[in-house]
Each structure stands twice: as structure tokens, then as C-alpha cells.
A and B are shown apart, each in its own frame.
Chain A
Amino acid sequence: MAGKKRLAVWKFASCDGCQLSLLDCEDELLAVAEAVEIAYFPEASSRMAKGPYDLSLVEGSITTEHDALRIRKVRRQSKFLVTIGACATAGGIQSLRNFADVAEFVAAVYASPHYIKTLATSTPISDHVKVDFELRGCPINKTQLLELLSAFLAGRKPVISADSVCTECKQRGNICVMVQGIPCLGPVTHAGCGALCPACRRGCYGCFGPTENPNTAALAAEWQKLGAAPRDIRRAFRTFNAAAPAFRTESEAHGE
């Protein structure tokens, strides 16, 4: 396998969906495996080769002390480190604990809470180590993943749009759901899904996290005009990217 770039896939607190996206590239998987050496990918292979690695894909957020140390080890072994998905990029749905008392959360789930070792917060990988690129989404878009891999192999920057979901709605020919009275996070949400929810006649719920410079306050005002209560707005900004600064700040503006 001399000469091939070495790929590693790592998992932290997550649902496994983003790394599954690689196995979901049914038509391209065998070609990817020809182009790179899949050196470490426990979900797919029991061959776990030691580092260093040329490219590490990191799924999941940091929720334990052990993982906070492990991500540093991963960084040291990786030439390029790319986060895949909302957990690794923004802390994921599990970052809802950041707004609560984690001890109370643990006690609500487990009979013997003292067995549990977990941090008070769920944090993105970039809070712990340098990240070279972030793929958004809950889950990521597998076409973007393939673009990332191709760009990496070609030594160029991946071509991934930083527009909002609104742009994708226009491209897809969706009728704007806000115009039909359905609250939608599309105007402040990073593109990448292909405007899936509006295509199903529901409002975007923000899987891809905030776009660059989102005007969340203006959107929240529009939601209010459509009849959304402060609680609805807070819930909407507090999902899979709840800890992303723009969404966190907006959620905090809408009461308890």
C-alpha cells in the first residue's frame, strides 16, 4: 500500500450516522478503498493499523475526560483532521446538557448515577484541538464527504457552499414554506442538505447549523409573526447544533 494516503475514522459521542455515510457511498466505496489506505476504521474493519495518518475523519463530541485526552492523541497522529457532522462540529444534541445540570440529567437516566463519569458539557472538537476543516450536518451529506476526500487527494480545497438553505430551496424550485405560514430555520442554516425539509413541506430544523453571519434575531421576529411562542423559538435553536454560538445566543434570548 506504499504511497497511498492513510485514512482514519474516529468516533466520540455520536450516533455513528456520519461514519455510516462513508459506507453509504455504495457506488464509490470500493473506489475510495483503492484510492486511499483505510488504515483505521473500526466500524468497518478489524484491521486497525497504527498511525500516523494523513487524514483523520472525526465523528462525535467530547463528553468525557478520557475523550478529551484521546482527541489530543488523534490530533498528534493526524496530518489533516476533519470533523464530520454536527456532534464533532458543534457538540450535537447531547450539548443540551450544557444548558442544564448534568448531575440531574444523569440521575434522570441511571439508577446508580455515581457509576457515571461524564463532563458537564458536550463540546465540539475545535474546543480541544486544531481542526483543518469542518463538514456540517446531522448527518453529513455523503456527496460532500466524497468531495472532501477527492479534494484532499488532489491537494485542493473542497468546494462546499457556505450559502444558506434558502439558496438550495431556490435551486430546487421549492415554494418557500415561510410564505405558506410554516416557520423555517432555512434563512439562518448552512446549506448542504439540499433543502430536504421544505421539499417535504416542513420548515428546516437546522441540521447543518448556522450559516456565516446569520441574522437569527430577524428570523425569530418573523417566527413570532407566524405565531411562534418564545418556547417554540428556543426549542428550534436548541437541537443538533444547540451549542453553536449563533444558535445558542438566539435561544437564550427567548426566555425559559
Chain B
Amino acid sequence: MANRSIRVDILARVEGEGALDLHVRDGKVTRAHLNIFEPPRLFEALLRGRGFMEAPDITARICGICPVAYQMSAVHAMEDALGVRVKGPLRALRRLLYCGEWIESHALHVVMLHAPDFLGYPDAIQMARDHGEAVRRGLALKKTGNALMRLLGGREIHPVNVRVGGFYRAPSRAELACLSAELERARDFAVETARWVATFPFPALERDYEFVGLRHPDEYPFNEGRIVSNRGLDIEAREFDTEFEERHVAHSTALHSVLKRRGSYLVGPMARYSLNFDRLPASVQALARECGLGAQCRNPFKSIIVRAIETVYACEEARRLIASYEEPEAASVPIAPRAGIGHACTEAPRGILYHTYTLAEDGSILAARIVPPTSQNQISIEEDIREVASAALELSDDALRDRCEQAIRNYDPCISCSCHFLRLNRHRE
């Protein structure tokens, strides 16, 4: 038992391709590496020379699980560069679209990908034999999220209706009203899901993360807000590069994003929730407490409860947005190309997603940079694995491997967001 080496060659139930490499020597974890071997697709390079209007459609293809996040960060960054602000009903529609993606993505992860870890199944389909109702409820929730995206975006994966300046076509009040009843039922399903996951067994682990997320004066954040942390960070998206830096580290050959002054940090549901608990409606706060959460959550395994709580919020927020929707006069605001630099950060289901573009006078993209949530969480994931493994060394190799995989899945890592991720040759077969 002095030297153990645990490897997971293909991480299951994550979006994209990754592997885990854990080394233990004399009762100490000496290496905990998350290896990403997603083939690079070089988005930031291929965006150069494209038109600013193409960015939302092209960057959506970075990730089929969270295309709306890419579209939202892209349109906000372009509008920043072009000096345009989208307000009123069009802003509300963007928020509503984001609700759809959060519901879909969270339901997928909570019920289909993550819950099987806690209950000891290889997948949700096997789990459905014993927990049929919970799985069907999760699928129904997911379907409602997809219905929202289909109505606003045309389709659930890579929506076609989002454009710089607003939308190509704005829905009518009547079209949106059709979804209200479904959302009410979805909210009940989400509440039941939250209560269900709150009963799972959670390994004891509390970590002192630096939470990073958006913060808005009065909303739980989706599209807008300052980038803040629980250690005093408080900046605009345009200042991203002064505080954050991406490092090309030798051991994993994947870009790791760090806070220049303090190192690793955490983005995603747990960070968002812990920074914005006071922005949740009282009913959702009460449900969170009922599910055993405080105003902050530091146990990464409990991120599944946080996701369920955020799903409840997204259902409620979607209903509110639909009830107060006024049809806009035009589906988009006028846009004229000009030279400039734009920045934006929005809250993807997995955490803040930063885009910046430099535009030429004719609106062609000269330079693009995209920092996805999973590259920001990579160091935190490895630190979690180290702690989780150190506390569980008495387990058999198989059980330890399962526990570490579960610790990775706590992050719902979206490895396909591959513009920054490289393949690691020496760890393949």
C-alpha cells in the first residue's frame, strides 16, 4: 500500500474528454492531476477575420451543453465594443433564455450525471429502475428548460435566434404565456428534486475557496454584474486581465486560470450562490435552508443541492419574466460596426465565462479571447481531489477512484469548452 497509482482513463458523465491521474506515496497524495485531452479546436484563431455578427453563432459551437452562455457573453462583448446597450424587454428575453439553459443544464447534471454517484449507479438509466420517479421528474424538468430555449432560440442546442443587438425575432406575449403552466409544474419538480438530493449522503469536506462570480445590484446574476469575490475582488469585466491570468502549466498542458495575487479560485453554482444568497427570493432561501444549506456552501459535494436550488430559482424567475413581458417595438436595436475592444462576462451554468474581442473598423474580428468556467476551476478541482483522496486513503483502489471521479463531477466539468484545452499524449493508452 506504500505506493499507489490510480488512473481513470476516460472520465464518465462529464461533457468532453478528460482523465485523472492520482499518485500516493507513503500515505500521502503526491500527485492529483486532471488531464484534459480534448483535441484543441482553436476557436480564438478561427474567429479572426470573421464578422462581429458571426461571433454568437460560431462561439456557441464551443459547447453543445451551454451554447446560450457563449452566445450571451459574445453578444454582450460585441455590444460593449460597439457602444450599444440592450435594455427593457430584449434584456428580459435574454435573461429568460438563460433561465432555459440553466434549467436544462442543471437538470441534466443533477439527475442524469451526478445523482448516480451518490446512490451507487453507473448511470441514470440504471438508477431509473429503482428511482423511476426522480429520473422522470428530472427529464421533465430538463424538457421544460429545452422548451424555453426552443421557443426563444428556435432550438435547444445552438439556438439560431440570438443576435448582436437583441434577437432576430421577438416572441409574442401569447407564445410565452403558453409556457407559464409548464414552468409552474417544473418549479414543483425542481423543489422535489432539491428535497430529494438533500437526502443524499455527503462526504465531510469543507474548503476555504475564494468564490468568484458576478454580482448585480438587485438580481441573482445571469448576464450582468461586477466580478466579485469573498476576498475583496470587485471589478468590471474590462478589468479581467488586470486580476486574472491564464498559465500554460507543464504538468497538464492545459491552460489554468488563476487570480494573479492569490492563485486558485472557484466559479460556478457554489460560488454564485455563496456570493448572492441575499439576491434569492425569500421562498428560495427558505428552501435552501430546509435542504441543509447555509448562506454559503463550502462542501463541493453539496454543489448538487445548490444546482437544484438554482433550478428552482430559474423556474421562478422565468415565470416572473414571462408574466411581466411587454413585446418590444423591434426585435433588436440598430448596430453599426466600428473599431473597438469589448469585454463581457456572464454566468454560464458552470460559472463565469469571459469573452473579449478586438474589432476592426468594418466590424471584422482582429483578436478574440475566451476564458471558460472549467479552465478557471481546474486548479480547484485538483486541490479538491487531493483533499478528498487524502481523507479516503483507507478505501480500496476502486472505491478511491470512484470517490475521486465523483469529486471531479462535483464541478459538472465541461471539458468540451475546449478552446483552451489541450490533449495530453503521455496519458493516453
Binding site for B on A (CB under 8 A): 11-21, 23-24, 26-27, 29-30, 33, 38, 41-48, 63-64, 66-67, 92-94, 96-97, 100, 102, 104-106, 108-112, 115-118, 122, 138-139, 193, 196-197, 199-202, 205, 207, 232, 235, 239-240
CA distance A200 to B57 in the complex (A): 14
Q: Please name all residues of chain A whose beta carbon is closer than 8 Å to the beta carbon of B156 when the two chains form the complex.
A: 24
Most buried by B among A33, A97, A105, A240: A105
Q: Are A106 and B46 in contact (CB under 8 A)?
A: no
Which B residues touch A96, using CB under 8 A?
Answer: 46
User: B123 at interface (Cβ–Cβ under 8 A)?
Assistant: yes
Q: A38-B125, A45-B123, A201-B169 are in contact. Are A109 and B10 (CB under 8 A)?
A: no
Give the interface segment out of B36-44, B267-275, B288-296: B36-44
**Given the complex, which residues of A lie within 8 Å of B416, measured CB to CB?**
14-16
Task: Quote the shortest CB–CB distance from A55 to chain B (angstroms).
Answer: 17
A/B pair count, beta carbons within 8 Å: 202
Query: Which residue in B17, B54, B422 is a CB contact (below 8 Å) of A11?
Result: B17
Query: Contacts A110-B255, A235-B51 known; A29 to B168 CB distance under 8 Å?
Result: no
CB distance from A247 to the nearest CB of B (A): 15
**Cα distance, A46 to B9, chains bound together (Å):** 11
Q: List 17 A-B contacts (CB under 8 A).
A: A13-B418, A16-B65, A17-B67, A20-B64, A21-B157, A33-B128, A44-B125, A48-B10, A64-B39, A66-B428, A106-B42, A110-B422, A111-B255, A112-B253, A193-B155, A200-B167, A200-B169
**A131 to B10 Cα, complex, angstroms:** 25
Contact across chains for B14 and A43 when beta carbons are under 8 A apart: yes
Instruction: Determine if B64 and A93 form an interchain contact, defined as CB atoms under 8 angstroms apart.
Output: no
Interface string of B37-81 (1 = CB under 8 A from A): 011111111101011001001100111110100000000000000
Interface assignment of B15: CB less than 8 Å from any CB of chain A: yes
A97 to B420, CA, bound (A): 16
B168 is contacted by which of A23, A102, A202 (Cβ under 8 Å)? A202
- Min CB distance B91 to A, Å, is 19
Q: How far is the CA of A176 from the CA of B169 in the complex (A)?
A: 15
Task: Verify A44–B13 contact, CB threshold 8 A.
Answer: yes
Residues of A within 8 A of B113 (CB): 44
A134 to chain B, nearest CB (A): 18
User: Can you name 10 extra interface pairs (CB under 8 A) apart from A64-B39, A94-B41, A115-B422?
Assistant: A14-B416, A15-B64, A23-B108, A30-B125, A44-B113, A46-B116, A46-B122, A97-B45, A105-B46, A200-B154
List the B side residues contacting A122 at CB < 8 Å: 41
Cβ-defined contact, A67 with B143, below 8 A: no
Closest A residue to B117 by CB, please name it.
Answer: A46
Once A15-B416, A96-B46, A117-B425 are accepted as A-B contacts, the answer to whether A42 and B57 lie under 8 Å apart by CB is no
Task: Say whether B355 faces chain A, with CB atoms less than 8 Å apart.
Answer: no
**A14 to B58 CA separation, bound complex (whole angstroms):** 13
Q: Give the residues in chain B near A100, CB-CB below 8 Å.
A: 45-46
Say yes or no: A17 contacts B158, CB within 8 Å: yes
Is B393 an interface position by the 8 A CB rule? no
- Bound Cα distance from A63 to B42, whole angstroms: 11
- Enumerate chain B residues within 8 angstroms of A115, measured Cβ to Cβ: 248, 253, 422
Decide if B54 touches A17 in the complex (CB within 8 Å).
no
Known: A17-B157, A201-B168. A116 touches B40 (CB 8 A): yes
Are B146 and A205 in touch, CB under 8 angstroms?
Answer: no
CB contact between A109 and one of B15, B61, B64, B419 (< 8 Å): that residue: B419
A93 near B46 with CB under 8 A, answer yes
Q: Which of A16, A38, A46, A104 makes the CB contact (< 8 A) with B63?
A: A16
With both chains docked as a complex, state the minimum distance between the C-beta of B19 and any C-beta of chain A, in angstroms.
11
Residue of chain A at shortest CB distance from B37: A66
Whether, in the assembled complex, B226 has its beta carbon less than 8 Å from a beta carbon of chain A, the answer is no
Complex Cα gap A14–B6 (Å) = 28
